[in-house]
Structure formats: structure tokens, C-alpha cells
Amino acid sequence: MSWLPSTGVLVALAVGAAVLLILAGVTVVVLRRRARRDAARPTAQAVAASAPATPEPVPEARAEPVPVAPDIAGSSAPLAAALSRALAKRPAPRGDARDRLLAVLLDDPVRTVGAAAALEASSAQLSRLSEALSHERSVVREHLAKLAAAGLEPDQLASLSGLPAAEVRALLSR
């Protein structure tokens, strides 16, 4: 039965499969929400049909300036308007653009980003566990080799270690 994978490999495969299932579930939920959102959006034809036949009158621009009355804090309307125009012309920071893009692409970007961070942490933990498992297997292999050199048979080593005899033989053959 040396063709059977070791327990550590099976655990790693099971954890990997669980992570993939979680990703698949998140993907399905996101796709379903997008489909519902898209179905609820009006089509271009519906928007065109609901538009008024005659355009709304546009108020004419005044030639004379608007009288300026200071605010309670001492600022004036033109200063506030100039400030808002200056802020609007300023390029958005990279994070803002990324956040807007995520908000457009995902129904719940905070939860999705959180799930991605959790996935990354789980992947790192899985990597650490795999390394630890590999190290412990090499330690077990060394101890089994010492006991085999002392004269114990693989069946006795299997009974002593609690491992299947096939796995003990596989460890000793490496």
C-alpha cells in the first residue's frame, strides 16, 4: 500500500480543497448578486421611454454678480465655491480610485477584501504547517532509522509509532 499518500499530504489536500470551496462559494454569491443587480437596473430603452418628450427649460445665466453675504464663520459663498472647484480638479489619490473600482465591481467590497485577506492568511498558515509537517516527518524518519538499526522490524516499528506499516516502510526507504 505504498501508493497511498501520507497523512500529511491528505491533510494539506483537504485544507486546499476547503479553501477552493470557499472561493467557489464567494464567487457564486458575487455572481448571483451581480445578476440580481443587473436585472433590477432599467434598460436603455426604459430610460429613454421615461424621459420627457420636451427638454426642461434651462435657467439663463445672470449677467450681474450674485450678492455676497458672509457666513457666520466669516467665509463667503465665492470662497466656498472656489475651494470646492479646486478640490474637484485635484486628482484623486490611488486608494480612492481603487475603492471606487471595487465598489463598482463587487456588491460587498469590504467583505470580499476581508475574505481575500483571510484567504492569504490561511494560505500562509498552510505553508507554515506544511513546512512543519515536512520537518516532523524527517525527524520521525531519523528515529525510525535508528530503531531499525537497533534491530526492530517494520511491523514492530509501525506498532510502536502508531503509523501504518506501509508508511513506515516508505519512510525507511527514503
Q: Alpha carbon of 61 to those of 58, 65, 66: distances in Å? A: 9, 10, 11
**CA 48 to centroid of chain Cα atoms:** 38
State how far the Cα of 147 lies from the Cα of 164, in Å rounded to an integer: 16
Triad 162, 167, 170: Cα angle to 5°: 140
Q: What is the DSSP letter of 56?
A: P
Where b means 16+ CB within 10 Å and e means fewer, 20-30 reads eeeeeebeeeb
**pTM for the full predicted model:** 0.39
pLDDT in tens, 64-117: 555 555 545 555 667 667 767 776 666 666 667 777 777 777 777 778 888 888
C-alpha cell at 174: 527514503
State how far the Cα of 130 lies from the Cα of 172, in Å rounded to an integer: 20
pLDDT in tens, 109-124: 778 888 888 999 999 9
C-alpha cell at 87: 478640490
pLDDT in tens, 133-144: 999 999 999 999
